[in-house]
Amino acid sequence: MFTGSYVALVTPMHDNGQIDYEALHALVEFHIQQGTHGIVSVGTTGESATLPFDEHIEVVKHTVAAAAGRTKVIAGSGANSTDEAIFLSEQMAGLGIDGFLSVVPYYNKPQQKGMIAHFNAIADATDIPVILYNVPGRTVADMLPETVAELAQHKNIVGLKDATGDIQRLKATQALVGDDFALLSGDDGSSAEFLCEGGHGVISVTANIVPRAIAQMCEAALAGDNNRCNTINASIEKLHSALFIEPNPVMPKWALYKMGLMKSPFLRLPMVLPELASQKSIEELLVEYAIISE
């Protein structure tokens, strides 16, 4: 089962928009040293929407190489075309990844039956475990717990990243799936409560900035120490909000740039750099948390 802290890793880029593979390797090493339990490569935070297939696959390949078996790597493989999602999954199947993260098709607004057919087709095409990803704030379409439960019957569909931020949704899903089905929070603001209510882990944006804290928060909850989980979360809670004052991954990239972990905060259009007020806000918070100096 996938448990613990998985970072939704950014994809570092040079000022000319090309992938900065040196920085990518350094980020993977940073997370391994900080205790992150796994890496999600080229998900939403990794700007999957603006990476063509060849770059998408190359970034995952480099991530696996940098991890060198020391931490799990999950590859984003979602698309709003089932054929494209299958193609991408097939192309990455031999890279040495531990799982796929596949998002609910965006823009199309598929019916629940359409989602079931979509994800079953993807899972039929691979022997690698598939984690479903429900993020209606971005996709508009919302995958219901009953749909998740039906999909969980497929031997290759092993978990769900739930970014609804709705703890009642977690409880509804728990009642319908087995204990071996991984339930991972995709909403940093509610992740501590999610863990304390029996979630198995997180796929976290905040982990880009404070990976050790997120890993320790997960470890505490999984060990049954909810007090420690909540205490750790309280110590970083401001970051959960600050990293989303502009659309993800704008703020995580700016923060990592200011932390010296990337040479450039470049984002591919249509995403652009944060407003000056947003830059100042996150920088002040990084100073407050002693992550950077003034």
- DSSP class of residue 273? P
Handedness of CA 275, 39, 157, 85 (dihedral sign): positive
Say how far apart CA 274 and CA 200 lie, in whole Å. Answer: 33
Residues 6+ apart with CB under 8 A from 281: 242, 245
Say how far apart CA 285 and CA 122 lie, in whole Å. Answer: 41
Catalytic-residue membership of 257? no
Task: Give the residues across from 13 on adjacent strands.
Answer: 19
Active-site residue, from 21, 106, 133, 257: 133
Catalytic-residue membership of 161? yes
Region for 36 from its dihedrals, namely left if φ exceeds 0, alpha if ψ lies in -120 to 50, beta otherwise: beta
Residue 203 labeled ligand binder: yes
Residues 6+ apart with CB under 8 A from 128: 89, 93, 97, 98, 99, 100, 156
Residue 214 labeled ligand binder: no
Active-site residue, from 161, 253, 257, 258: 161
Say how far apart CA 237 and CA 151 lie, in whole Å. Answer: 33
Per-residue exposure over 24-37, b if at least 16 CB sit within 10 Å of its own CB, e if not: bbbbbebbbebbbb
Binding-site residue set for pyruvate: 45, 203
Binding-site residue set: 45, 203
Active-site positions read 133, 161
